[in-house]
Homo-oligomer: A and B are copies of this chain.
């Protein structure tokens, strides 16, 4: 145990703790070779500053908090990857919490992070969250927050997102361009913005191409178990006997659930029904048929979100007024087998 502290070095070198501290931190008013002696001794005693003391004194922790709905999702893993890389590069540590899509948990975790005095918070809102006072409370304490992926428009802070509406619009337009006409949509639950937006994009694309929107063609996948939701609703869809030649799924996972069911009942993809997903998970390249999808740049989202957050942290520290920005990262259609008829 017995961690070495400034006092120990000071005693060993024969100077005051002030001098040691200044030497180690590069203050200019320290003689060259006393500095050298101090540094040498610090290394010899392998000194590590006690961050608790530093943090208490400087009132910053060089730590950010991240709250995500779940870690075991390819998309969030990618985001996390981007977050960790950029945070590391900028010298910040990151504390991860998962809300499991629960509002109460999310709220409690925010409080935990504030207690820990993190310098900023990154959060993708839970599906349940429709009250934002806990976020505003953080903002009011001048702790920067940036929302990503699942955001709330009415919260006044920076955000990094994709344009879900446009991406969905593009995906459906792409299907229409391929000649599909009776296009179903497997949508997510009603609360999260991205679920709403993807639905709206779907609807708009139909209307803009002269196809009347038929509410019977939208299936609700709101059990947060995307794969099973896709599977179950595919069954429902097939049994409804409606004329359908393509489906736009809110997620690759539900798309894969759909594919699994269609494969089982030997409905040919894409000959009888085409399927397009959303997110471009690694998995979509290995199933059969390979899934066409919308690429969602998870790594970039995480990366950019941290970047903005740290910028704002620094601005807040220097009391320069911060201008919130919302970055929209581009998506793209990835065409594979599940939508191209030969």
Contact = CB atoms under 8 A, between A and B. Distances in A.
A52 to B, nearest CB: 4
B286 A256 contact: yes
A105 to B, nearest CB: 8
A320 interface: no
A275 to B, nearest CB: 13
Interface stretch (A23-31, A114-122, A203-211, A307-315): A114-122
Contacts of A295: none
A19 interface: no
Contacts of A80: 71-72, 96
Q: What number of copies of this chain does the assembly contain?
A: 2
Contacts of A78: 72
Interface in A61-114: 61, 63, 70-74, 77-78, 80-81, 84, 88, 93-98, 111-112, 114
B93 A93 contact: no
Interface stretch (A43-51, A174-182, A233-241, A322-330): A43-51
Contacts of A342: none
A260 interface: yes
7 contacts: A1-B142, A53-B56, A56-B56, A84-B97, A93-B95, A93-B116, A286-B287
A223 interface: no
B52 A61 contact: yes
Given A51-B115, A52-B56, A115-B51, A94 B93 contact: no
A272 interface: no
A288 interface: yes
Most buried by B among A96, A98, A286, A288: A286
Given A70-B81, A72-B81, A286-B287, 12 more contacts: A48-B111, A51-B116, A72-B80, A74-B74, A84-B96, A93-B95, A93-B112, A95-B95, A96-B96, A259-B286, A260-B286, A287-B287
A141 interface: yes
A112 B117 CA distance: 18
A190 interface: no
Interface in A275-320: 282-283, 286-288
Please list the 10 inter-chain residue pairs (A to B) with the smallest Cβ-Cβ separation, ordered nearest first.
A72-B77, A52-B56, A52-B55, A288-B288, A48-B115, A71-B80, A286-B287, A283-B283, A72-B81, A1-B142
